[in-house]
Amino acid sequence: MRKDLSAILAVVTGTAGAQIITLAFTPLLTRIFTPEAFGHLGVFVALSTILMPIAALTLPIAVVLTKSNNEAKALSKLSTCIALLACLIFTLFIVLNKPWLVNVLNAQGDGMYLYWVPAVVLFGAMLQLSENWSIKLSLFKLRAKISILHALIINLLKLGVGFFIPYAITLIVIAIVNPLINALLLGLPVKNAIKNETENLPNNDYRQLLARYRNFPLFQSPQALLNALSQSAPVVILAALFGPVSAGFYTFSRTILAIPITLIGKAVGDVCYGRFSKQVNLQQFAQAKKYFVHTTFYLSVVALLPLGIIWFFGPALFSLVFGEKWFEAGVYAQWLSLWTYFILINAPSLKLLIVLKKQKQSLLINIISMPVRIAMLILGGHYGNDEWLALKLFVLASVIHNLVIIALAYISCEQKNKNSNNRAINYDS
């Protein structure tokens, strides 16, 4: 447990440093860029986020579960090839449908930046590989240092370029290079750590490798796609129904609320993933369940303070810190803080379900909940013509979704533990 706490502390320290840097720059950036600029950025990032799970079919996540570094290298090569092919398909789709996309999304100008969405998706796949390699190799202190360096580089770019070119295109261009810079900073040390190992998997065994981790393209990837749709759909729908300013308020409030998710949830989730993987491989389901319950409980307590402050004082805080024009973003943040709370405490559940190979069940839940959440948005936005009603209905449906996922993780682990105990009893008898 001490080792896990040390790993969590390392990741949290690095992430905290990165978030402090981002927060320090944000009041300056909100006085340079308009809500409309953030809205166009939000649409661009939303499209990239939706396509990300399809690009490499979530195979980079499986790197942590491989039994050797050689197998992980082969899986990385396979993931990269799939991502390249997917990005070529995305590019062709955008070329053929650009006028329609520009019209639906209220894209800025002629929407030329849409051509860069596939590049961001490819860079994102590279970053996923680097991140999961660092988890596999337990390079948590390295990740902490790189998180701080990366945050400093990106925010200096936004401030420096934005001072002279305070338009949406500046934010979009930096969003394009963002994952590439992060992937290179993290990937180069990872490459050095495994450079002496050779990949000895014959080419015809890549099909076997894909079959071994088939749960990821079959279940994890569609589930991640549905989750990305549910998280990114509000930006696209708000932009389509109410314009880029509303999308900008939503995007900015989600960016601020992502800080506790990134600071605590991702750090704990990454460490839990490695811990759950080892425990399940050793058939230690009771320990995995205990660890899951403890981490979920601790997260639920820790998350109360920051998100509670946003819930009660969101509009006033946003106006004070970011400027009067961001008051409405504070209202968005009030309601989104409730959803963010359950996303945060859901982090261990998502990792445990992957390790327990319950992607199929998770996918079924997402297949049901995603249309419901999007329907809530459309119901309030299009038919009710009320963006606040749309937001509240969406948050309510999203909270219920996260509670169901947490319950599934607990029940699945409990069932595995019972089955393991029954096998042990039968063996002894």
Please say if the pLDDT value at position 418 is more than 70. yes
**The one-letter amino acid at 333:** A
Cite the DSSP H helix spans in 213-358.
215, 221-242, 244-260, 267-281, 285-302, 304-322, 327-345, 347-355
**197: region left, alpha or beta (phi > 0 left; psi from -120 to 50 alpha):** beta
Question: Domain limits at 84?
Answer: 2-423
| DSSP reduced 3-state for 216 | helix
pLDDT the model gives residue 323: 92
Query: 323: Cβ–Cβ under 8 A, 6 or more apart, which residues?
Result: 27, 30, 31
Q: Which residue has the tokens 């190992």?
A: 197
- Assess if residue 429 is contained within a domain: no
Cα–Cα distance, 302 to 307 (Å, whole number): 9
Cα–Cα distance, 419 to 429 (Å, whole number): 15
- Assess if residue 65 is contained within a domain: yes
| DSSP reduced 3-state for 194 | coil
Q: Which residue has the tokens 């006033």?
A: 316
pLDDT the model gives residue 170: 96
Section 77-102 average pLDDT: 93
pLDDT the model gives residue 3: 61
| Lowest mean pLDDT across 27-41, 84-98, 347-361 | 347-361
Number of domains in the chain: 1
Section 277-305 average pLDDT: 87
Section 98-117 average pLDDT: 82
Q: Choose between 1 and 70: higher pLDDT.
A: 70
Q: Which residue has the tokens 């290298």?
A: 73
| Lowest mean pLDDT across 20-24, 186-190, 318-322, 382-386 | 382-386
Rg of the chain (C-alpha set) = 22
202-221 pLDDT per residue, tens = 555 788 888 999 989 998 89
pLDDT the model gives residue 118: 96
Cα–Cα distance, 338 to 317 (Å, whole number): 17
Cα–Cα distance, 405 to 100 (Å, whole number): 36
| Lowest mean pLDDT across 225-229, 290-294, 330-334 | 225-229
pLDDT the model gives residue 103: 83
Structure tokens given for 375: 């329907």
- Assess if residue 94 is contained within a domain: yes
Task: Indicate the pLDDT class of residue 396, thresholds 50, 70 and 90.
Answer: very high
CB 299 within 8 A of CB 344: yes
Please say if the pLDDT value at position 427 is more than 70. no
Structure tokens given for 95: 């070329």
pLDDT the model gives residue 231: 78
pLDDT the model gives residue 423: 61
Please say if the pLDDT value at position 102 is more than 60. yes
- Assess if residue 428 is contained within a domain: no
Please say if the pLDDT value at position 410 is more than 60. yes
> At CA 149, angle to CA 148 and CA 150, rounded to 5?
90
- Assess if residue 261 is contained within a domain: yes
Query: 222: Cβ–Cβ under 8 A, 6 or more apart, which residues?
Result: 53, 363, 366, 367
Average pLDDT, the chain: 88
Please say if the pLDDT value at position 88 is more than 70. yes
Section 187-208 average pLDDT: 73
CA atoms within 13 A on the CB side of 285: 19
Cα–Cα distance, 60 to 80 (Å, whole number): 9
pLDDT the model gives residue 108: 66
Section 374-385 average pLDDT: 84
Farthest-apart Cα atoms in the chain, separation: 77
Cα–Cα distance, 347 to 43 (Å, whole number): 25
| Lowest mean pLDDT across 27-36, 188-197, 329-338 | 188-197
139-164 pLDDT per residue, tens = 888 888 999 999 999 999 999 999 99
Please say if the pLDDT value at position 5 is more than 60. yes
48-81 pLDDT per residue, tens = 999 998 889 999 999 998 888 888 999 999 999 9
235-247 pLDDT per residue, tens = 988 888 888 899 9
Cα–Cα distance, 414 to 278 (Å, whole number): 17
Structure tokens given for 158: 């936004």
CB atoms within 10 A of CB 109: 11
pLDDT the model gives residue 425: 56
pLDDT the model gives residue 197: 62
Q: Choose between 65 and 274: higher pLDDT.
A: 65
pLDDT the model gives residue 330: 95
pLDDT the model gives residue 424: 55
pLDDT the model gives residue 316: 95
CA 22, chain centre distance (Å)? 18
Global pTM exceeds 0.85: no
CB 125 within 8 A of CB 83: yes
Q: Which residue has the tokens 């320990």?
A: 287
